[in-house]
Amino acid sequence: MAYSEKVIDHYSNPKNVGTLDKSSKNVGTGLVGAPECGDVMRLQIEVDETSGIIKDAKFKTFGCGSAIASSSLATEWLKGKSVDEALKIDNMEIVEELNLPPVKIHCSVLAEDAIKAAINDYRKKQGLEELVFEERI
């Protein structure tokens, strides 16, 4: 199967690979796995205390090219957004941007799930209630 140019670009030159300080209460960490293939993605956000804006985002993905490209793109999109805005990132936007074929849609789901898990971890650290998200098929 051919990867789109944008996937190849994000895959060969991924943005924001790395780790943020897990012990900070302003850092939320999401760790998710894809049941379809066993790939694992860790995505972290760092929220600015005063503005509530995500000032940094990093990821590490042990997985296929599409999963790496999806998380790279997600971290790019996260920076500069409020936590509420970040919650609205939909995996289908990633699919569209990267032109992912149907068999690779779950790779983008992994990125959306990782964002939501990171936000919930952040909320927990802030003493806020965790959000409940719809189960996916």
Scanning the structure block, which residue is given the tokens 């998710």? 32
- Residues in contact with ligand FES, counted by CB under 6 A, come to a total of 12
Cα–Cα distance measured from residue 56 to residue 78, given in angstroms and rounded to the nearest whole number: 8
Cα–Cα distance measured from residue 82 to residue 84, given in angstroms and rounded to the nearest whole number: 5
Query: Least separation, in Å, of the C-beta of 1 and ligand FES?
Result: 11
Is the separation of the CB atoms in 32 and 41 below 8 Å?
A: yes
- Output 106 or 116, the one with its CB closest to ligand FES: 106
Query: Least separation, in Å, of the C-beta of 70 and ligand FES?
Result: 8
Q: Is 37 a catalytic residue?
A: yes
Scanning the structure block, which residue is given the tokens 């999806």? 70
Task: Quickly list H helices, the chain.
Answer: 5-12, 65-78, 83-87, 91-98, 105-125
Which of the following is catalytic: 8, 37, 40, 105? 37
- The stretch near ligand FES (CB under 6 A) out of 5-13, 58-66, 90-98, 123-131 is 58-66
DSSP state, 119? H
**Is residue 31 a contact residue for ligand FES (CB under 6 A)?**
no
**Is residue 107 a contact residue for ligand FES (CB under 6 A)?**
yes
**Is residue 67 a contact residue for ligand FES (CB under 6 A)?**
yes
Cα–Cα distance measured from residue 92 to residue 110, given in angstroms and rounded to the nearest whole number: 12
**Is residue 113 a contact residue for ligand FES (CB under 6 A)?**
no
Q: Is 64 a catalytic residue?
A: no
